[in-house]
Structure 1
Amino acid sequence: MIVWLIALPVLVGAFAGTRHLLRRRGPAVLRSVLAADAALFTGALVLLLVALSGGAAQADPATTAAAANSGSQSAALIGAAIAVAGASIGAAIAVAYTGAAALAALSERPELFGRAMVIVGLAEGIAIYGLVVAIILIGKT
């Protein structure tokens, strides 16, 4: 799990760099990027085959159970954090658009206040759903 937390920013940086190169140089870079992707895919496939063909390792059952419990607990906490962060970002984007539209409508017709606030409140409900999912995930650990 920690490997993915370290590798994710690297992957995002590589994606941004590749996109920048593709915009500047065009088809020549595209061929080299496709070749690098094919090589990485082949390497990942080889690693997957090696991992699946290996025998089961022998370990102490108590240590294995403790490690599995710790891994599932940290995965649940990371999932809860992603749920809250994603829902909050989504709610912020939704409230930004609906709030701006509500203010524009209210400047022309003030009697629409109730309807406009209901729509903004519905957009804010997205964050509450993320919080509920996070509570459920944390409660499962």
Structure 2
Amino acid sequence: MTLATKIILITALILSIIIPFGYYLIGEKNKKRYKRTIGVNAFFFFGAFAIASVMLLGGPQVNAAAAGDTSAALSTGLGYIAAALVTGLSCIGGGIAVASAASAALGAISEDSSVLGKSLIFVGLAEGVCLYGLIISFMILGKL
């Protein structure tokens, strides 16, 4: 990437932050300004994302034979993707489970304080899902 394209990309990213903030402060003082500010922010953010994608994909092509063994690079890349998916999806599932278990536990504790230990076990089991995913991702990364 040349210096000019880097400057354009950095300028677009900075403007995607400054323009919606200015629009929020200077714009009309009504309830719709929040939605408009988010819309303007999303427009400029995805615009900067599109500019970055065009600049990154429009660069020089690299010969696969000169880059090294493609099968090793492919397996390494897929291993990183697998580790990211395992960690991300297990944490999303654990977060959903903790949200349900913790709210039910708080409701039960507010009615009867003697169920605190039992409810904490269920919340801990829900958090264990995240830890299992993290352990599996470490095992995947250890094989790379």
Q: Matched residues in 2 for 1:128 and 1:65: separation? A: 35
Unmatched tracts of structure 1, length 5 or more: 1-58
**Correspondence for 1:132 among 128, 135, 140:** 135
Counterpart for residue 10 of structure 1: none
1:86 aligns with 2:81: no
Counterpart for residue 114 of structure 1: 117
Question: Following superposition of structure 1 onto structure 2, how do residues 48-67 of structure 1 map, counting pairs within 5 Å?
Answer: 66-67=69-70
Following TM superposition, by how much is the alpha carbon of 1:64 offset from its aligned partner in structure 2, in angstroms?
9.6
Q: Provide runs of 4+ in structure 1 moved above 6 Å.
A: none
Residues 99-119 of structure 1: CA deviation (Å, up to 9, x unaligned): 000000000000111110011
Q: Matched residues in 1 for 2:67 and 2:110: separation? A: 64
Q: Matched residues in 2 for 1:80 and 1:74: separation? A: 10
Following TM superposition, by how much is the alpha carbon of 1:65 offset from its aligned partner in structure 2, in angstroms?
7.1
Residues 49-103 of structure 1: CA deviation (Å, up to 9, x unaligned): xxxxxxxxxx97xx79721111100100000000000000000000000000000
Aligned length: 81
CA RMSD of aligned residues (A): 1.9
Q: Matched residues in 2 for 1:78 and 1:112: separation? A: 41
Relative to its length, the structure with more helix (as a share) is 1
Q: Matched residues in 2 for 1:66 and 1:129: separation? A: 33
Q: TM-score, normalised by structure 1?
A: 0.54
Q: Matched residues in 2 for 1:99 and 1:131: separation? A: 21
Counterpart for residue 71 of structure 1: 74
Q: TM-score, normalised by structure 2?
A: 0.53
Name the structure, 1 or 2, with higher relative contact order (CA <8 Å, separation 6+): 1
Q: State percent identity of aligned pairs.
A: 36
